[in-house]
């Protein structure tokens, strides 16, 4: 009798399971081969109930009993699965085919290579770590790691004295100016480095000055540009285009002051710092939070003065920033004059007040001084500036020296550039302000 089988009841083959299912899924259920009508076809049955049904239809009483349910997987199987995953990661060719067809010899060979590499790397690290010694400086090598030590623990006490070396010799910039700071001319304070007279007697005002070797019989004329650094573009333009003999007086509040000062000195300009001092109309006119005031105690003014001292290295001294009232007070100027002399610094009186006594007080105290004869751009027009420069030329010829001051207006920079080109032909030497130190007679 022929058995009619409904097509909808025919078993279908399951799709091939994915890699993760093949690794972690249940064991494959054994297929139950059933001979149907003496044919060669087989049906893959995954359920024992279906196997009993087919057996009863065929009437085969001697068919083998259904397979026993799979045993519960133990710890050994989980370990085996884990190492299979590792093998698949380390040996991509094993990804091809069913897991049961993986060549176990290749798997063992792969793991042997991995273990040999790890053993060789570990042996190299141990051998190298034992041979490493201390490195110089503040880092000590321990095995293959580095331990950063604080600066004070770099050397043992007995090593510090033996390793101490004199400070390196300070050279000069291509412009001829001394590289700053010179360790022999600097004192370390909580605020930073401040200038001092060296143990060899050198004074910062002379050491950091621009070299000048013109004969003393030739008239000398200096130009000091004040308020430098506030406009970085104009400061750079002036430093690059104007003759290096022109002195720059930087505002102590200027941004990026150290870099700007270094740039100016590299291009050959010697540097002053503006010293904020009380004007007559203070606080309507305010030179800033570190202004020296006649109403403050000597200790507070000294604290503010130290802040200005520590701003940057390499300057030769100060020029007053405003300060009409302060420079008109002999008592207060004597205090500042004494501190300037103590540190070997120069003071250039900008003459912001007709009654200024600054240069006279510094001179009487034995310090280094100079004073401005005329500001050339009180009216920043080309015609006015040219007229003031001619007046300075006459002063230089009659007195031997003269100093003019100016602000970095574009028109001022333009007229100074044109004027300096013809100065040599007039027999006048354009000099840095340090070359006129103590050569004037204050009133």
Q: Which of 364, 312, 331 is nearest to 347 (CA)?
A: 364
Sign of the alpha-carbon dihedral angle for 416, 421, 422, 426: positive
Residues 120, 241: one domain? Answer: no
Domain hosting residue 408, numbered range: 186-436
What pLDDT is stored for residue 31 in this prediction?
42
If one counts the domains in the chain, the total is: 3
Mean pLDDT of the chain: 79
Mark whether 48 and 195 lie in a shared domain.
no
Is 269 a domain residue?
A: yes
Residues 327, 396 share a domain:
yes
Is 69 a domain residue? no
Q: Are residues 309 and 336 in the same domain?
A: yes
Is the domain of 294 the same as that of 378?
yes
Whether 116 is in a domain gets the answer yes
The residue out of 15, 31, 58 marking a domain boundary is 58
Same domain as 259, residue 231: yes
Q: Are residues 116 and 11 in the same domain?
A: no
13 and 115 in a single domain? The answer is no
Do 230 and 287 fall within a single domain? yes
- The residue ranking higher by pLDDT, 123 or 289, is 289
Flag whether 442 is in a domain: no
Residues 287 and 203 reside in one and the same domain: yes
- Mind listing the pLDDT tens digit for each residue in 21-72? 554 454 444 444 444 444 444 444 444 444 444 444 444 445 455 555 555 5
pLDDT at 76: 63
Angle at 373 between CA 371 and CA 378, to 5 degrees: 115
pLDDT mean over 116-125: 73
Residues 114 and 227 in one domain: no
Per-residue pLDDT tens digits for 144-188:
333 333 333 333 333 333 334 444 557 999 999 999 999 999 999
pTM of the complete model? 0.64
Residue 291: which region, alpha, beta or left (left: phi > 0; alpha: psi -120 to 50)? beta
Partners of 247 in beta bridges: 224
Instruction: Flag whether 322 is in a domain.
Output: yes
| Domain-embedded: residue 276 | yes
Same domain, 236 and 362: yes
CATH number reported for the structural domain that contains residue 398 in this entry:
3.20.20.370
Examine residue 172 and state whether it is found in any structural domain, yes or no.
no
User: For position 121, what pLDDT does the model report?
Assistant: 72
């Amino acid at each position: 009798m022929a058995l009619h089988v409904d097509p909808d009841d025919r078993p279908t083959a399951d799709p091939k399971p994915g890699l993760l299912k093949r690794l972690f899924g249940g064991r494959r259920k054994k297929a139950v081969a059933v001979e149907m009508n003496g044919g060669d076809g087989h049906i893959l049955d995954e359920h024992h109930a279906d196997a009993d049904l087919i057996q009863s239809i065929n009437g085969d009483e001697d068919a083998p009993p259904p397979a026993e349910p799979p045993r519960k997987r133990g710890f050994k199987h989980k370990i085996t699965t884990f190492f299979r995953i590792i093998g698949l990661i380390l040996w991509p060719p094993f990804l091809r085919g069913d897991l049961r067809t993986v060549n176990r010899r290749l798997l063992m060979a792969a793991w042997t290579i991995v273990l040999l590499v790890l053993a060789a790397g570990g042996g190299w690290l141990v051998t190298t770590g034992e041979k490493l010694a201390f490195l110089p400086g503040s880092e000590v090598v321990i095995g293959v790691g580095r331990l950063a030590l604080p600066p004070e623990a770099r050397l043992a006490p007995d090593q510090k004295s033996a390793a101490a070396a004199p400070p390196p010799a300070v050279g000069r910039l291509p412009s001829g100016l001394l590289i700053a700071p010179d360790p022999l001319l600097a004192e370390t304070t909580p605020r930073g480095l401040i200038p001092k007279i060296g143990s060899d007697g050198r004074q910062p005002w002379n050491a950091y000055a621009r070299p000048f070797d013109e004969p003393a019989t030739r008239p000398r004329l200096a130009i000091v540009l004040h308020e430098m650094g506030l406009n970085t573009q104009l400061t750079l333009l002036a430093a690059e285009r104007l003759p290096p003999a022109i002195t720059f007086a930087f505002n102590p509040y200027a941004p990026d002051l150290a870099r700007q000062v270094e740039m100016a000195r590299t291009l050959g300009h010697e540097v002053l710092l503006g010293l904020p001092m009380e004007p007559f109309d203070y606080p309507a006119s305010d030179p800033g939070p570190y202004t020296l005031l006649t109403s403050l105690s000597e200790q507070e003014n000294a604290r503010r003065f130290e802040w200005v001292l520590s701003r940057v290295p390499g300057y030769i001294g100060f020029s007053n920033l405003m300060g009409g009232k302060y420079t008109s007070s002999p008592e207060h100027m004597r205090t500042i004059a004494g501190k300037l002399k103590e540190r070997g610094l120069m003071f250039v009186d900008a003459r912001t007040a007709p009654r200024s006594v600054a240069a006279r007080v510094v001179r009487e105290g034995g310090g280094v001084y100079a004073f401005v004869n005329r500001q050339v751009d009180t009216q920043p027009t080309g015609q006015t500036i040219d007229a003031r420069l001619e007046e300075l030329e006459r002063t230089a010829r009659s007195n031997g020296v003269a100093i003019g001051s100016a602000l970095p207006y574009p028109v001022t920079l333009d007229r100074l550039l044109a004027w300096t080109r013809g100065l040599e032909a007039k027999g006048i030497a354009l000099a840095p302000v340090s070359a006129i130190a103590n050569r004037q007679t204050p009133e």
